[in-house]
Amino acid sequence: GESVGLHLPTLSVQEGDNSIINCAYSNSASDYFIWYKQESGKGPQFIIDIRSNMDKRQGQRVTVLLNKTVKHLSLQIAATQPGDSAVYFCAENPPKGYSTLTFGKGTMLLVSP
Amino acid sequence: EAQVTQNPRYLITVTGKKLTVTCSQNMNHEYMSWYRQDPGLGLRQIYYSMNVEVTDKGDVPEGYKVSRKEKRNFPLILESPSPNQTSLYFCASSPTPGTGVNEQYFGPGTRLTVT
């Protein structure tokens, strides 16, 4: 909902720009990572995932990069559109259990027309 | 349509009055989970269930109960709600364990206010 965006880092871009959203994860043993998008008033929606044996994965207009050395994930959105405005979360699957995901705090992306 | 549904979407209640938030999925997923989302704290897992009759505590289970009597349903129970449980709650489900597919599908959320 609307309160999700409070206290979050914000990235403001112009329509058509490329956006890069960064995430630091906590557990070096995590082997699976997901990016979620959350629009106001809705639940998180899957965007793209990546396994720890990869360092890059591409989807439609999105690319996820994984740097295990520094425990860093990034989400790149090409040709950002106003409909991309949302809060973006990374999530990691630490080894404590199948399907248990630990979420980052999120970044709000604001796209101006 | 494949989906996770939650009811109610909005609820205002008073301290101590037991309530249940229902969650249902139609994707035949074995794994289901409850999260709460608070400003500045992100999504935190309350409870999860790997299958029918199997439930486990997440990171913030205090004050909550769950049950998993059927595969499709995973209700969240607050026996004696308190104001610090005012939050936005999400239910999620995920496909069969062991396949390596960990994507979770989220419901639309339930905004709970406890006065």
Kindly report, residue by residue over B5-32, the tens digit of the pLDDT. Answer: 999 999 999 999 999 999 999 999 989 9
Question: Residue A34's closest chain B neighbor by CA?
Answer: B103
Half-sphere exposure of A71 (CA within 13 A, CB side): 12
| CA dihedral over A91, A4, A38, A98, signed as positive or negative | positive
User: Looking at beta carbons, which residues of chain A come within 8 Å of B94?
Assistant: 99
Structure tokens at B92: 């999620």
Q: Which one of B39, B42, B104 has the shortest CB-CB distance to A99?
A: B104
> What pLDDT score does A107 carry?
94
> Using beta carbons and an 8 Å cutoff, which residues of A are at the interface with B?
1, 3-4, 6-8, 32, 34, 36, 41-46, 49, 89, 93, 97-101, 103-106
B73 Cβ contact list (under 8 Å, min separation 6): B22, B23, B24
A68 Cβ contact list (under 8 Å, min separation 6): A28, A52, A55
Alpha carbons B10 and A99: distance in angstroms, whole number: 27
User: Looking at beta carbons, which residues of chain A come within 8 Å of B42?
Assistant: 89, 103-106
The residue ranges of chain A whose pLDDT is under 50 are: 1-3
> What pLDDT score does A74 carry?
97
> What pLDDT score does B49 carry?
93
Taking phi over 0 as left and psi of -120 to 50 as alpha, with beta for the rest, B105 belongs to: beta
Count A/B contacts: CB-CB distance under 8 Å.
71
> What pLDDT score does B98 carry?
52
Q: Is B41 an 8 Å CB contact of chain A?
A: yes
Instruction: State mean pLDDT over B42-60.
Output: 92
Instruction: State mean pLDDT over B64-89.
Output: 97
In Å, how far is B75's CA from the nearest CA of chain A?
A: 17
> What pLDDT score does A98 carry?
57
**Amino acid identity at B71:** K
The DSSP letter of residue B107 is -
Q: Which one of B4, B43, B94 has the shortest CB-CB distance to A99?
A: B94
CB contact at 8 A, B4 and B93: yes
Res. B55: pLDDT tops 50: yes
* Contact state of B108 with A99 under an 8 Å Cβ cutoff: no
| CA dihedral over B71, B3, B111, A49, signed as positive or negative | positive
> What pLDDT score does A69 carry?
94
> What pLDDT score does B17 carry?
97
Alpha carbons A105 and A23: distance in angstroms, whole number: 9
Structure tokens at B67: 């049950």
Res. B65: pLDDT tops 90: yes
A61 Cβ contact list (under 8 Å, min separation 6): A77, A78, A79
> What pLDDT score does A2 carry?
41
**Amino acid identity at A11:** L
